[in-house]
């Protein structure tokens, strides 16, 4: 199974995803650092408090032990009462244990079988040389801060004090701080992403305006919608787009000017190719007129002969004028302009102009023009030029006595077809892919410019049509031109 194309991910989504992930990671690290630092500070404070409480308690215990040793009073009952009183004064105290130097219990606040201390074994407690604190779980559920203080005075060790203070409140405070910090981080991240979303909306909105202006660019058509003035990088982009549009429009005008010059030059080249046949058509009447003048000059008194020869001279001059007008009409450079035109009339005009060379070569020219052919929306002069290029190429391709067939028909309700077929030598398969290339020609030097088919292809495409060629070496070539009917092209122009 072939997976379909993936849906495109918008630039806004990509930026938000990248920046959002970066912000979240940074804020998480910052929050963790702040929370860890605050946790360490809180634990250090609580541990210092536990040591302070232990030292205060140890002072009274040491005094009691010293007085007992001096037989001032019995210390056992005093220490136990002091433990009970101290436990009642501080509700956070969980356990108090007083050990003698050998590790024997002197007094305690607990009565369970298992000792409550969590900082190590009894031997470790008794051997502790310095005060220390431990934060750990006492029974798997409740946490305590345990302070172990060696009770020493005057270089003598009187025993060890083990003090347990509850730490669940500290954990709860840390947990609350973590939740508050997480909520604050989420709120700050959300606000930053919202601001970024709005800012990207403005930036991407400006880019969408630029894209719409680019899509609206139609060379030779209506100008794109104006872009708002901006004083940032987007404004620079707008400015450069406007400059690019002006350069494109100028390049288009220059290109059209050169294109029409090339088309006109090719038209003149086609006129030159017609010159031999046309010279024959002009030369015959001129020679006849010269003979008439010679005859009139030798017999000026013969009025009837003069009238007859003057009529013949007038017919010859009319024929010459007709030929010259046809030639000038084809070669004259006119302003281009597409309008509804009859394709059959353009074909007939070109056939009349090319008929001199066709008849002189002895080629049979067949016309099959559809009488109900719809109009095409095109420049008549350019269409006649395409017809002339194809017809002259066909005349060059056939041998004397060959045939050429020009057909017009409708392909459907929307397209009109012109076919120019000949029974000439055809085009080899290796060359047929290059015949529309500029300056490519198989003719001899001076027989062609190699621009005729290239220009014809450009003209046909400019009118929304297409041109195809089918050829078989030794059996002739057929060029098929398809142009949109006038009603279809006018509908397209109306929509654009």
pLDDT at 388: 81
pLDDT at 4: 46
pLDDT at 268: 59
pLDDT at 39: 84
Q: Which helix (H) or strand (E) holds 483?
A: strand 476-484
pLDDT single digits (tens) 89-99: 888 888 888 88
Torsion of CA 237, 243, 249, 251, to 10 degrees: -110
Domain ranges (residues) in the chain: 11-175, 217-333, 337-496
Within 299-366, residue ranges assigned H as helices are 303-331, 343-361
Q: What percent of the chain has pLDDT over 90?
A: 2
Q: Report which of 352, 396, 377 is spatially closest to residue 462, judged by C-alpha positions.
A: 377
Q: Which helix (H) or strand (E) holds 459?
A: helix 452-462
Please give the residue that has the higher pLDDT: either 241 or 181. 181
- Residue 334 CB neighbour total at 10 angstroms: 12
pLDDT at 485: 85
Q: Report which of 459, 445, 451 is spatially closest to residue 387, judged by C-alpha positions.
A: 459
pLDDT single digits (tens) 138-148: 777 788 888 89
pLDDT at 472: 83
In this model, does residue 135 exceed pLDDT 70?
yes
Please give the residue that has the higher pLDDT: either 415 or 154. 415
Mean pLDDT of the chain: 77
pLDDT single digits (tens) 294-351: 677 777 778 777 777 687 777 677 767 766 665 665 555 555 567 888 988 888 888 8
Do the first three CATH levels of 11-175 and 337-496 match, i.e. the same topology?
no
> 337-496 sits in which CATH class?
alpha beta
In angstroms, rounded to a whole number, what is the distance separating the alpha carbons of residues 118 and 217? 81
pLDDT band, residue 493 (cuts 50/70/90): very low
pLDDT at 494: 43
Look up tokens 């007709």; give the residue. Answer: 322
Angstrom CA distances, 71 to 66, 74, 155, stand at 9, 7, 21
Please give the residue that has the higher pLDDT: either 56 or 240. 56
Contact (Cβ atoms closer than 8 angstroms) between residue 437 and residue 454 = yes
In this model, does residue 395 exceed pLDDT 70?
yes
- Structure tokens that stand for 141 in this block: 């559920």
Fold of 11-175: Beta-Lactamase (3.30.450)
pLDDT single digits (tens) 417-471: 999 998 888 887 777 766 776 655 655 544 555 566 777 777 888 888 888 888 8
pLDDT at 188: 84
pLDDT band, residue 12 (cuts 50/70/90): confident
- 158-174 mean pLDDT: 87
């Amino acid at each position: 199974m072939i997976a379909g194309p993936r849906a495109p991910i918008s630039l806004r989504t990509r930026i938000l995803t990248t920046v959002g992930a970066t912000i979240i990671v940074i804020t998480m690290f910052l929050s963790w650092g702040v929370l860890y630092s605050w946790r360490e500070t809180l634990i250090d404070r609580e541990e210092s408090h536990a040591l302070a409480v232990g030292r205060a308690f140890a002072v009274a215990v040491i005094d009691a032990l010293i007085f007992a040793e001096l037989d001032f009073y019995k210390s056992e009952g005093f220490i136990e009462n002091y433990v009970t009183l101290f436990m009642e004064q501080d509700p956070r105290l969980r356990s108090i244990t007083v050990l003698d130097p050998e590790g024997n219990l002197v007094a305690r606040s607990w009565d369970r079988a298992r000792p409550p201390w969590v900082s190590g074994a009894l031997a470790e407690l008794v051997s502790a040389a310095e005060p220390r604190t431990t934060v750990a779980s006492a029974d798997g559920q409740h946490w305590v801060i345990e302070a172990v203080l060696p009770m020493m005075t005057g270089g003598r060790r009187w025993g060890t004090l083990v003090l347990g203070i509850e730490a669940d409140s500290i954990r709860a405070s840390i947990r609350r701080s973590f939740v508050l910090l997480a909520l604050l981080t989420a709120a700050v991240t959300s606000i930053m992403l919202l601001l970024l979303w709005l800012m990207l909306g403005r930036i991407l909105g400006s880019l969408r305006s630029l894209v719409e202006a680019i899509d609206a660019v139609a060379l030779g058509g209506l100008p794109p919608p104006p872009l708002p003035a901006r004083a940032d990088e987007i404004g620079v982009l707008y400015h450069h787009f406007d400059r690019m549009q002006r350069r494109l429009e100028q390049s288009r005008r220059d290109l059209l000017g050169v294109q029409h010059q090339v088309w006109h030059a090719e038209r003149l080249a086609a006129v030159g190719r017609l010159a031999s046949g046309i010279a024959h058509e002009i030369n015959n009447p001129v020679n006849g007129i010269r003979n008439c003048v010679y005859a009139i000059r030798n017999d000026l008194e013969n009025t009837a002969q003069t009238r007859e020869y003057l009529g013949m001279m007038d017919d010859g001059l009319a024929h010459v004028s007709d030929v010259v007008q046809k030639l000038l009409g084809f070669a004259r450079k006119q302003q281009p302009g597409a309008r509804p035109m009859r394709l059959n009339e353009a074909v007939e005009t070109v056939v009349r102009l090319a008929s001199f060379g066709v008849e002189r070569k002895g080629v049979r020219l067949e016309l099959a023009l559809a009488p109900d052919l719809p109009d095409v929306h095109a420049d008549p002069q350019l269409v006649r030029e395409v017809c002339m290029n194809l017809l002259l190429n066909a005349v060059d391709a056939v041998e004397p006595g060959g045939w050429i067939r020009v057909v017009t028909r409708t392909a459907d309700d929307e397209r009109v077809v012109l076919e120019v077929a000949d029974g000439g030598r055809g085009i080899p398969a290796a060359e047929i892919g290059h015949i529309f290339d500029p300056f490519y020609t198989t003719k001899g030097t001076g027989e062609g410019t190699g621009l005729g088919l290239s220009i014809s292809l450009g003209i046909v495409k400019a009118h929304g049509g297409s041109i195809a060629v089918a050829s078989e070496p030794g059996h002739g070539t057929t060029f098929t031109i398809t142009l949109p009917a006038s009603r279809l092209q006018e509908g397209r122009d109306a929509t654009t």
